[in-house]
């Protein structure tokens, strides 16, 4: 999300379009280098669901007028949804006396980062986006296909769905979104980095991986800590001492939750 903060006038929809292009190109290079590209409908479906979740989150930021709150609500719901799915649907083994307190700590820490939520019906977009983010990989888990073969179709599904969505929005507003050179290139680079990181995420939740869906996916959501570090160091967010104390407490709780969650797989 760095390009959206660095260039405040850069549209989130243009960001999605450029990032999706970077994802597709980056994964295409990996697929051809490893001779692993396969056209899998399940990958296209998961890519479509990912774009739907992202669209609801971007919509939430504008409609709810709360960038931080929308992101935190979305992440909290996705963590809870993926944990429940892993335990109840996929019957993954986890030490519940560690994992349940861990999830509660993660959710509590996240809640301290957001302003008061207000009416839940007003925030339905971010909640729905988080729910889809927490569930969109169920088809992948059920299909049980190799990660490299899946990723090619997944990136293609994201690219096609994102570009179609942006095209529809452009037609609706009767104007193209502005694509500045610097933010567009930066967004495509973010897409490439996302693909690289996503391979680690898929390894974590894969049935042959170490963590599974109930533990692996929630832990990947701790990328929030990197976002917060960028915000404090680069964009000078949380400038006052009380804000930074509150941030430090919330981050400490989240780290404790992440550590407990990791221990639940031992």
Using the 8-state DSSP alphabet, how is residue 84 labeled? H
Share of the chain above pLDDT 90, in %: 44
Helix (H, G, I), strand (E, B) or coil at 136: coil
Q: Which pTM does this prediction carry?
A: 0.88
Residue 205 has a pLDDT of 79
Q: Report residue 200 as tokens.
A: 């680690």
Helix (H, G, I), strand (E, B) or coil at 102: helix
Residue 113 has a pLDDT of 80
> Among 12-26, 52-66, 120-134, 192-206, which range has the highest average pLDDT?
12-26
| Helices and strands counted in the chain (H then E) | 12, 0
Reported as a pLDDT band with limits 50, 70 and 90, residue 119 is: low
Asked if the model's pLDDT at residue 20 lies above 90, the reply is: yes
Residue identified by tokens 């980062």 is: 113
Asked if the model's pLDDT at residue 22 lies above 80, the reply is: yes
- Window from 23-32, 201-210, 239-248 with minimum mean pLDDT: 201-210
Residue 161 has a pLDDT of 96
Q: Which among 60, 197, 189, 79 is positioned nearest to 133, based on CA atoms?
A: 79
Asked if the model's pLDDT at residue 3 lies above 90, the reply is: no
Reported as a pLDDT band with limits 50, 70 and 90, residue 206 is: confident
Q: Report residue 65 as tokens.
A: 């007028």
Q: Report residue 57 as tokens.
A: 């989150």
Dihedral angle at the C-alpha atoms of 8, 220, 135, 112, nearest 10 degrees? -60
Chain mean pLDDT for the chain: 87
Instruction: Give the burial class of 91: count Cβ atoms within 10 A of its Cβ; 0-12 exposed, 13-18 middle, 19 or more buried.
Output: exposed
Using the 8-state DSSP alphabet, how is residue 177 labeled? P
Q: From its phi and psi, is residue 91 left (phi > 0), alpha (psi between -120 and 50) or beta?
A: left
Q: For 42-73, what is each residue's pLDDT tens digit? A: 999 999 999 999 999 888 877 766 666 677 88
Residue 117 has a pLDDT of 59
Reported as a pLDDT band with limits 50, 70 and 90, residue 162 is: very high
Residue 65 has a pLDDT of 66
d(CA 253, CA 1): 23
| For residues 95-116, average pLDDT | 86
Residue 240 has a pLDDT of 86
Q: Report residue 164 as tokens.
A: 């179609």
Q: Which among 145, 178, 150, 193 is positioned nearest to 23, based on CA atoms?
A: 193
Residue ranges of E strands in the chain: none
Residue 43 has a pLDDT of 94
Q: Report residue 227 as tokens.
A: 């976002």
Are 123 and 62 in contact by the 8 Å Cβ rule? The answer is no
| For residues 73-96, average pLDDT | 89
Asked if the model's pLDDT at residue 200 lies above 90, the reply is: no
């Amino acid at each position: 999300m760095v390009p959206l903060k660095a260039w405040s006038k850069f549209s989130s929809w243009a960001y999605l379009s450029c990032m999706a292009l970077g994802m597709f190109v980056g994964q295409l290079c990996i697929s051809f280098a490893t001779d692993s590209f396969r056209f899998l409908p399940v990958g296209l479906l998961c890519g479509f669901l990912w774009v739907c979740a992202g669209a609801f989150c971007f919509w939430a930021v504008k409609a709810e007028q709360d960038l931080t709150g929308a992101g935190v609500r979305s992440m909290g719901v996705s963590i809870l949804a993926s944990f429940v799915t892993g335990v109840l649907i996929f019957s993954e083994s986890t030490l519940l006396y560690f994992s349940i307190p861990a999830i509660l700590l993660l959710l509590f820490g996240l809640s301290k980062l957001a302003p008061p939520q207000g009416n839940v019906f007003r925030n339905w977009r971010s909640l729905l986006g988080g729910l889809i983010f927490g569930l969109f990989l169920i088809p992948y888990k059920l299909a049980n296909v190799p990660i490299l073969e899946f990723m090619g179709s997944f990136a293609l599904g994201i690219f096609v769905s994102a570009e179609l969505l942006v095209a529809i929005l452009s037609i609706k507003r009767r104007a193209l979104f502005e694509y500045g050179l610097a933010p567009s290139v930066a967004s495509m680079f973010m897409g490439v980095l996302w693909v690289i990181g996503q391979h680690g995420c898929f390894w974590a939740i894969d049935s042959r991986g170490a963590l599974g869906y109930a533990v692996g996916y929630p832990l990947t959501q701790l990328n929030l800590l990197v976002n917060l570090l960028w915000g404090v160091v680069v964009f000078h967010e949380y400038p006052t001492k009380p804000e930074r104390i509150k941030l430090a407490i919330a981050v400490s709780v989240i780290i404790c939750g992440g550590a407990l969650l990791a221990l639940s797989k031992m």
